[in-house]
Amino acid sequence: MHDAFNLLFGTVGEMHMFTLAENQEEVDGMELVFEQTVPPKDGLAVPVKRGQHLRVIDLEGRQVVDTAFFNLDNFREKLSTSYSRTRYMPKPGTPYAPRDKLMEGDILLSTICRPMMTIVEETPEPKGIHDSHNRMCNRFLYENYGRKESRDGCHEIISKAVAGYGILPEDIPDTMDLFMNYQHDCALGHWVIKTPVSKPGDYIEFRAEMDCLAAFSNCPEDELTDCNDRHCTPVKIEIYNP
């Protein structure tokens, strides 16, 4: 099926999976089966099986990670941050209230409202400081604000990461931007990008509710805003068997 698992256990696996097989670790009773550090301004795509846990670790703090999910069996089905915020299962008798954030305990839904990932834990305080409204940065953004040299944004970084799976740039969904401190200022009438609250070693952990392809951009934005505290740093991606 799309040779997706072959990509994980082949090219990537030769570098990471088989290294771990000789000295596998357990964390919180789970078996670590994949880990990779993603350098600043770089990306990664990796399959995650249903039931596995995916952990994204901010190694040095204040670093945003733009994250997309695709159904591994049908890449046309992908993350919808809007549905994830507004189509959650309500408690009996509660009125409809679209949410403004996604946080621990919430379920990420696809473009056809099927569960993709559950947020099982997040360590930054306060919880729920992730962006699920803004479209990821791209070359167009930087060009519009005067950057003369071509520069990849998160859209280009994720597009390159998933290109080997046959996914085109126009098929990239709106991402969940982990650790991004994106707040609306009603007085100003626009959104404000603030310094992230995540500290070194903080993480967010997901449980896969279907076989997914997870794609990441370690956000490169260090010129226009305080998105990454104007200093981009590495992050780590880990996958666990329960």
Reported as a single tens digit per residue, the pLDDT across 97-144 is 999 999 999 999 999 999 999 999 999 999 999 999 999 999 999 999
203 within domain boundaries: yes
53 within domain boundaries: yes
CA-to-CA separations, 135 to 18, 43, 72, 100, 167, in angstroms, rounded: 36, 17, 23, 15, 18
92 within domain boundaries: no
198 within domain boundaries: yes
CB atoms within 10 A of CB 149: 6
94 within domain boundaries: no
Residues 6+ apart with CB under 8 A from 38: 44, 65, 216, 218, 234, 235, 236, 237
- The mean pLDDT of the chain is 91
Domain that holds residue 81: 4-87+99-241
93 within domain boundaries: no
Q: Please report which confidence band the pLDDT of residue 28 belongs to, taking 50, 70 and 90 as the band edges.
A: confident
142 within domain boundaries: yes
> Which of 7, 50, 54, 6 minimizes the C-alpha distance to 30?
54
148 within domain boundaries: yes
Q: Please report which confidence band the pLDDT of residue 24 belongs to, taking 50, 70 and 90 as the band edges.
A: low
pLDDT at 203 over 90: yes
Q: Please report which confidence band the pLDDT of residue 63 belongs to, taking 50, 70 and 90 as the band edges.
A: very high
Number of domains into which the chain is organized: 1
